[in-house]
């Protein structure tokens, strides 16, 4: 009797990060007896992590997400993956579900931007920016789009922001790691704002689970639940003690949820 095919889990990072930020969760998934048979992937999106491209070579959100789309296309016919997106990675997961719904067993949003099927994909991003207008922006570095509109506006988390609003519940070692590995990225607002809403019969047909990080200061709990109210999901789970980098501050909880979701929806 042939061995069962491995279950593919794809962990998708957010802006300025890379597959490296999933190192704790990936290690737990690969070593846990409960996760035996899981094939865990942590791809770097374009111009992120160790991907050799620079942001100027990635003008659109689709270009940025291309490594994930290519990965899904490479899966054998009939095989599906569990996609887990963090932060901006939620929009990458949503685009992947729109392009290849037949390849997605479930889409998991970990304190992530989750679009609905009635507004442009930028809607949650713009709502978050608006909600944070009164929050001190500290030392984030934002550069506008070039005058010809050919390059995306760039974004980089500043050290103070990392310490106080993104990694505030993480160890000093992980904060140091993040500061050394982060790269200049983009939120691709200009591009996402002109895209049509994702479709109900493709992205909308994929089963979804949202994991709320209750101590998140980058995308507040209220905004996370607002996205869920606009785009109902199969389940909402929560982590009481997680900051925005839940996969680093509470890796056991995140890994446990992913195992349970994979067993249920694969």
Q: Where are the domains of the chain?
A: 7-265
Cα separation of 45 and 48, whole Å?
5
Question: 154-156 and 141-143 as β-strands: parallel, antiparallel, unpaired?
Answer: antiparallel
pLDDT at 149: 61
Asked whether the beta carbons of 195 and 120 are under 8 A apart, the reply is yes
In the residue annotation, 220 being an active-site residue is answered as no
Asked whether the beta carbons of 157 and 166 are under 8 A apart, the reply is yes
In the residue annotation, 180 being an active-site residue is answered as no
Q: Whole-prediction pTM value?
A: 0.95
What CATH number does the domain located at 7-265 have?
3.40.50.1820
pLDDT at 4: 60
pLDDT at 147: 66
Give me the residues of the chain with pLDDT under 70, please.
1-5, 133-138, 145-150
pLDDT at 150: 67
pLDDT at 266: 85
pLDDT at 151: 74
CA–CA–CA angle 232, 237, 243 (5° rounding): 115
* Catalytic residue of the set 87, 122, 154, 249: 87
In the residue annotation, 122 being an active-site residue is answered as no
Residues 6+ apart with CB under 8 A from 262: 7, 9, 35, 38, 82, 105, 106
pLDDT at 37: 79
Tens-place pLDDT, residues 94-137: 999 999 999 999 999 999 999 999 999 999 999 998 887 666 65
* Catalytic residue of the set 216, 220, 243, 253: 216
Cα separation of 227 and 252, whole Å?
25
pLDDT at 139: 85
Measured CA distances, 258 to 68, 156, 251 (Å): 19, 28, 10
* Catalytic residue of the set 13, 17, 100, 244: 244
């Amino acid at each position: 009797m042939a061995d069962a095919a491995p279950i593919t889990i794809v962990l998708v990072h957010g802006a300025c990060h890379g597959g490296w930020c999933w190192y704790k969760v990936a290690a737990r998934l690969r070593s846990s007896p409960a996760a035996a048979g899981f094939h865990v992937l942590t791809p770097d999106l374009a111009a992120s992590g160790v991907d050799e491209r620079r942001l100027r070579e990635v003008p659109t959100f689709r270009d940025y997400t291309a490594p994930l789309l290519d990965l899904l296309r490479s899966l054998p016919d009939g095989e599906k993956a569990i996609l887990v997106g963090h932060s901006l990675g939620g929009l990458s997961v949503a685009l992947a579900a729109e392009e290849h719904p037949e390849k997605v067993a479930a889409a998991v949003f970990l304190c992530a931007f989750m679009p609905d099927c009635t507004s442009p994909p930028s809607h949650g991003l713009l709502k978050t920016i608006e909600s944070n207008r009164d929050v001190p922006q500290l030392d984030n570095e934002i550069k506008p789009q070039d005058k010809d509109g050919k390059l995306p506006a760039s974004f980089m988390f500043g050290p103070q922001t990392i310490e106080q609003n993104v990694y505030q519940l993480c160890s000093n070692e992980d904060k140091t790691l993040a500061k050394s590995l982060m790269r200049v990225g983009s939120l691709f607002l200009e591009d996402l704002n002109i895209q049509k809403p994702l479709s109900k019969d493709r992205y909308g047909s994929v089963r979804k689970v949202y994991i709320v990080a209750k101590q998140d200061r980058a995308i507040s709990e209220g905004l996370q639940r607002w996205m869920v109210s606009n785009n109902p999901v199969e389940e909402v789970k929560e982590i009481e003690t997680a900051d925005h980098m839940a996969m680093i501050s509470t890796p056991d909880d995140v890994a446990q949820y992913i195992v349970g979701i994979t067993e249920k929806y694969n």
